[in-house]
Homo-oligomer: A and B are copies of this chain.
């Protein structure tokens, strides 16, 4: 049978753990709360995932693997640079719209335990060099301004991620705590970030 049985205990635990860890972080989460959320006995958590640390690592892996969607195909495609960057930004913000909690969670935990982050990165086989090469070729071809390609990456990520990570603050300061207005703002970011980035790096 290849039917996805998503109602077994292990998945109930993973779902519950995700919910709680995202909300409270590793330090703030309680095993009892995860058990309640999953509707099971606390001892079952340990039966399936020995320790809190191991359970957390499973969740972190799951969530982090979404952070860098397959950009490989995009980078290697022969679209013009303008399309490539535009699509990247669009896909990335779409991901954040669907998982608005991701930035907060990841930023919190990469700072809490960078060692663990390193092991995750390694296990995921992420290769930023590919992107850098591509950007440098575009510079050579005179399509975009000459600059450190890492700046471009950091800029795109920062512009996309920050409004999600700082949501409570931005919403309060710039939108009088109006939830709907801020969510609308986030949706429109797909276009504004795209424009902003392209305006700043495309050759005049």
Of the listed stretches A13-21, A33-41, A83-91, A155-163, chain B binds A155-163
Q: Is B110 within 8 A of A107, CB to CB? A: no
Tier of interface size on chain A? 35 or more
- The smallest C-beta distance from A109 to any residue of chain B, in angstroms, reads 10
Q: Is B168 within 8 A of A110, CB to CB? A: yes
Chain A at the B interface: SS class: helix
Partner of A192, one of B104, B112, B147: B147
Of the listed stretches A3-11, A51-59, A114-122, A135-143, chain B binds A114-122
Query: A76 in the interface, Cβ–Cβ < 8 Å?
Result: no
Partner of A204, one of B106, B108, B185, B204: B204
The docked-state distance in angstroms from the alpha carbon of A168 to that of B108 is 11
The docked-state distance in angstroms from the alpha carbon of A170 to that of B153 is 10
